[in-house]
Copies of this chain bind each other. A is one copy, B any other.
Amino acid sequence: MVKRGKENRCRECSTRLSSEWCCLSGASLDALDRAKMPKTYGPGDIIYNQGTDCEGIYCISSGLIGLRRLDKDGNSALVRLVNPGGTIGYRSLIKKAPHSNTAEVLAPSTVCFVKRGIVCSMLQSDPDIGLEFLSHSLNELSETEDRYMESVTLNVKARLLHALLVFYERFGSKNGDEERMIELPISRQDLAELIGTAPETMSRTIQRLQNEDLAYFDGRKVRISNRANVEDFLHTAH
């Protein structure tokens, strides 16, 4: 299932510029290039499992990864989606603790693995990398706090609309003609896990949005009928 990807160089990696490696200079960039191991994954593949030890970090070059967390009762939640340019596994590496969630491939992906020893020595030699990780971590912290606030203050309908707007930003088609049409990157079940509700409720809420002319769903395609309407709703409603 997991196979070695074709050759690809960090220098030419278009997603590197939006990652923690954007600041790398020529020499350490080459070092990273030699150290990294690109692999390709398919949907459903597991990159690492919650509770296992951290072997290194994974830099997402293309595709989509989901971080899932299980609790002792078997409840599962989709904690975060990671786009190309994102790096996963660094938290466990730095804290020297087992992975706190499972990284699951949601769309065909190319991922570069960098062994923990390499990362540690780069952290030692180049202080800027630590600051990049810090900045990355602070962004995730803000995002997670926002999600927490949402989960205790907003109802399912509002959370779903919010998630749709986020998808619109992150996955909206770049071509101008079908601006407000997006392709959902995940299944309805996963969507339910992402906003913290039951699949049945997800289904019903989608129906409601359609009845209320806020959004239209066709399989994984979604059209937001009136973006301003949706934003108005989110800014006024409970």
Which A residues contact B (CB, under 8 angstroms)?
69, 71-73, 75, 77, 79, 91, 94-95, 100-101, 123, 127, 130-131, 133-135, 137-142, 144-145, 147-149, 151-153, 196, 235, 237-238
Contacts and interface: CB of A to CB of B under 8 A. Distances in A.
A140 B143 CA distance: 12
Contacts of A69: 145, 149
A79 to B, nearest CB: 6
**How many copies of this chain?**
2
Contact of A152 (B77, B100, B127, B141): B77
Contacts of A238: 73, 75
A120 to B, nearest CB: 11
Most B CB contacts (10 A, CB to CB) among A72, A127, A135 go to: A127
Majority-rule SS of A interface residues: helix
Contact of A79 (B79, B100, B134, B148): B148
Contacts of A72: 235
A145 B196 CA distance: 13
Nearest to A70: B149
Contacts of A100: 142, 145
A127 B123 CA distance: 10
A27 B80 CA distance: 42
Most B CB contacts (10 A, CB to CB) among A100, A101, A134 go to: A134
A72 B236 CA distance: 8
Given A77-B153, A95-B138, 20 more contacts: A71-B153, A73-B153, A75-B153, A77-B149, A79-B148, A91-B138, A91-B141, A91-B142, A94-B135, A95-B139, A100-B145, A101-B145, A127-B130, A130-B131, A130-B134, A137-B141, A141-B141, A141-B144, A144-B145, A148-B151
